[in-house]
């Protein structure tokens, strides 16, 4: 079992100032095996991104536990876990620092984890994703969404993560770029046996990509069996 | 297609003014016709071809004093502004990045520093610190970082919500690198324009202090020239060539920095 969560819960304070709480995620129990792709499927605002951000250590859970290889990990992630769990976001335009040329963002993984690199290695790694040396010298605003998402993926794969949280990685892209990204991810999974958490509101894509699908509704998660999910009863005294 | 860059006239005018003053400040030995410290028996002379702006009570050439004063005024103004901007930026970064208790502490400190009357505190500090350029710079910058810190903090708070900052955290980037390499470059234009505004503020404060007689002793700044002009009843006796030029110079320099600071920000 690569990742397992136990009653993972995130409750936001309501911004209206009342004592009411808003549920981001409630008692989430999900499991993720090695080499597996699970889907988190739900409508907008259902809390799937909240779960994704907690799994990637960007958001502190209100309660509950996350286990990585059966070892409990806590927010904020450090060291090995920080490197092994990576997240790919929905909007490629805001993935990179807009003030810096792409190359400065691209060399960061090497610098952070003291991986040796040269310009040749960097160029080779982006050429696998259909980008050229010239792209590296541009600012993010001078590249297209598809190019940026491929660059983002290339940067993430430098870490050789074992778990990747894919937060709607293709929803902002055209059909061709979507296919490219999905194929690249599949190839990486075959090579390294990585596990993916695929977050999407696109039913067809979810079914195509995922081994198992969890449906998310109002922060509650239930595993689907034959397209039907049974949700636990709504808790009392908490608005959604 | 790259957009054609629009000409920003106020910024150009401001830069030209600043540029001229910087050139005067650097080359004042070559530009000044006399050594401003040398006294002579020709006191209170009216402007003529030998002394463009006449002489003062000690027979010193006012034009040369003015040129040398540029260096003192600019030096103190620029350095005080650099320190104030650095302090303000650092506080804003810490405050916005860490949030929580750090943010509350820094915000209260900023509010506290803003509530203290600036010129009064600066005057007090100058009185008790050792006289000299350095203590003037310290005293001026201690009270002038607050505005920068507050404006940058609010801008940084919106920047903190940008996904690329979250991603930098997710890939395990160091806090200091995120702050100074990823956050700071994105507010570069505001930092620069706030810096230019700080220079004008610092020059005004310096002029006020010098006018009160709390300025640099060895070298005269524009404020000090004014101080002596008033002290020797220059206004009552109508010696306008003595008290007007430093006023015009200070106003022009402040205007230059203001134009760059104010319109440089709006062009974005």
Helix (H) or strand (E) holding A119, with range, is: helix A119-127
Q: What tens digit of pLDDT does each residue of A193-207 get?
A: 889 999 988 888 888
Specify the higher pLDDT residue, B20 or A181. B20
Strands A21-28 and A37-41: unpaired
Helix (H) or strand (E) holding B231, with range, is: helix B222-231
Give yes or no for residue A224 having a pLDDT over 90.
no
**Is the residue at A4 inside a domain?**
no
**Cβ separation B186–A99 shorter than 8 A:** yes
Full domain range(s) for residue A88: 32-63+71-223
- Closest by alpha carbon to A40, among A24, A54, A51? A51
Q: Domains in chain B and their CATH numbers?
A: 10-22+51-266 (1.10.3720.10)
**Is the residue at A84 inside a domain?**
yes
Contact list in A for residue B100 (CB cut-off 8 A) is none
Give yes or no for residue A21 having a pLDDT over 80.
no
Q: What tens digit of pLDDT does each residue of B189-199 get?
A: 889 888 999 99
CATH number at residue A192: 3.40.50.300
Cα–Cα distance measured from residue B241 to residue A234, given in angstroms and rounded to the nearest whole number: 84
**Is the residue at A26 inside a domain?**
no
Taking the CA of residue B130 and the nearest CA in chain A, the distance in Å comes to 43
pLDDT of A144 reads 84
> Within 10 A of B160 (CB to CB), how many other CB atoms are there?
14
Taking the CA of residue B167 and the nearest CA in chain A, the distance in Å comes to 7
Q: Does A169 touch chain B (CB under 8 A)?
A: no
- Closest by alpha carbon to A58, among A80, A89, A36, A31? A89
ipTM > 0.85 for the complex: no
Cα–Cα distance measured from residue B227 to residue B234, given in angstroms and rounded to the nearest whole number: 10
CA nearest to A109 within chain B: B171
Contact A173, A148 (CB under 8 A): no
Please state at what angle helix B146-160 crosses helix B133-144, rounded to 10 degrees: 50
CA nearest to A79 within chain B: B172
Beta strands in chain A (DSSP E): 3-13, 21-28, 31-32, 37-41, 63-68, 71-73, 85-88, 163-167, 195-200, 212-217, 220-223
* pLDDT mean over B238-259: 89
Task: Give CA B104 to chain center in angstroms.
Answer: 28
Taking the CA of residue B141 and the nearest CA in chain A, the distance in Å comes to 29
Contact list in B for residue A91 (CB cut-off 8 A) is 163
Average pLDDT across chain A, whole number: 82
**Is the residue at A13 inside a domain?**
no
Q: What tens digit of pLDDT does each residue of A154-176 get?
A: 888 888 888 888 888 887 778 88
Contact list in A for residue B171 (CB cut-off 8 A) is 82, 86, 108-109, 112, 155-156, 159
**Cβ separation A112–B167 shorter than 8 A:** no
> Within 10 A of B167 (CB to CB), how many other CB atoms are there?
26
Give yes or no for residue A227 having a pLDDT over 70.
no
**Is the residue at A7 inside a domain?**
no
Cα–Cα distance measured from residue A109 to residue A115, given in angstroms and rounded to the nearest whole number: 8
- Give CA torsion, residues A55, A60, A65, A69, to 10 deg: 40
**Cβ separation A96–B188 shorter than 8 A:** no
**Cβ separation B186–A83 shorter than 8 A:** no
Percent of residues, chain B, with pLDDT higher than 90: 30
Please state at what angle helix B133-144 crosses helix B62-98, rounded to 10 degrees: 40
Contact list in A for residue B174 (CB cut-off 8 A) is 112
What pLDDT band is residue B267 in, cutting at 50, 70 and 90? Answer: low
CA nearest to B182 within chain A: A97
pLDDT of B107 reads 93
Number of domains forming the structure of chain A: 1
The three-state (H, E, C) secondary structure of B62-115, written as one string: HHHHHHHHHHHHHHHHHHHHHHHHHHHHHHHHHHHHHCHHHHHHHHHHHHHHHH
Q: Does A197 touch chain B (CB under 8 A)?
A: no
């Amino acid at each position: 079992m690569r990742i397992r969560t136990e009653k993972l819960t995130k409750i936001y304070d309501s911004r209206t100032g009342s004592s009411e709480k808003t549920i981001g995620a409630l008692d989430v129990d999900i499991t993720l095996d090695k080499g597996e792709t699970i889907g988190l499927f739900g409508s907008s605002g259902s809390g799937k991104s909240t779960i994704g951000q907690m799994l990637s250590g960007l958001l502190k859970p209100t309660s509950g536990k996350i286990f990585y290889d059966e070892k409990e990990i806590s927010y904020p992630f450090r060291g090995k876990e920080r490197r092994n769990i990576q997240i790919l976001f929905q909007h490629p335009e805001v993935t990179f620092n807009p003030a810096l040329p792409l190359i400065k963002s691209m060399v960061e993984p090497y610098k952070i984890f003291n991986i040796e690199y040269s310009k040749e290695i960097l160029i080779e790694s982006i050429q696998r994703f259909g980008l050229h040396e010239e792209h590296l010298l541009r600012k993010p605003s001078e590249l297209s969404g598809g190019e940026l998402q491929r660059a983002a993926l290339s940067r993430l794969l430098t870490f050789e993560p074992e778990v990747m949280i894919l937060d709607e990685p293709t929803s902002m892209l055209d059909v061709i770029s979507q296919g490219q990204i999905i194929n690249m991810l599949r190839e990486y999974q075959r090579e390294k046996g990585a596990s993916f958490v695929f977050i999407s509101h696109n039913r067809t894509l979810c079914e195509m990509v995922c081994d198992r699908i969890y449906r998310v509704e109002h922060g509650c998660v239930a595993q689907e069996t034959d397209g039907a999910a049974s949700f636990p009863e709504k808790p009392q005294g908490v608005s959604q | 297609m790259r957009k054609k860059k629009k000409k920003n006239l106020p910024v150009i005018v401001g830069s030209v003014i600043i540029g001229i003053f910087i050139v005067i400040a650097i080359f004042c030995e070559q530009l000044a016709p006399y050594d401003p410290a040398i006294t002579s028996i020709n006191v209170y002379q009216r402007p003529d071809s030998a002394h463009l702006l006449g002489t003062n009570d000690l027979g010193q050439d006012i034009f040369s004093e003015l040129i040398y004063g540029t260096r003192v005024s600019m030096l103190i103004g620029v350095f005080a502004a650099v320190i104030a901007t650095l302090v303000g930026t650092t506080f804003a970064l810490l405050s916005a990045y860490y949030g929580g208790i750090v943010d509350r502490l820094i915000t209260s400190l900023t509010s506290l520093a803003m509530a203290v009357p600036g010129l009064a505190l600066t005057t007090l500090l100058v009185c008790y610190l050792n006289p000299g350029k350095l203590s003037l710079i310290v005293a001026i910058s201690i009270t002038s970082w607050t505005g920068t810190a507050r404006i940058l903090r609010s801008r940084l708070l919106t920047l903190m919500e940008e996904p690329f900052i979250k991603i930098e955290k997710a890939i395990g980037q160091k806090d200091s690198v995120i702050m100074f390499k990823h956050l700071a470059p994105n507010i570069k234009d505001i930092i620069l324009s706030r810096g230019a505004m700080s220079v004008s503020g610092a020059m005004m404060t310096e002029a006020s202090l010098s006018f009160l007689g709390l300025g640099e002793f060895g070298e005269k700044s524009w404020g000090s020239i004014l101080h002596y002009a008033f002290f020797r009843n220059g206004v009552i006796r109508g010696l306008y060539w003595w008290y007007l030029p430093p006023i015009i110079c200070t106003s022009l320099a402040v205007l230059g920095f203001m134009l760059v600071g104010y319109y440089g920000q709006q062009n974005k």
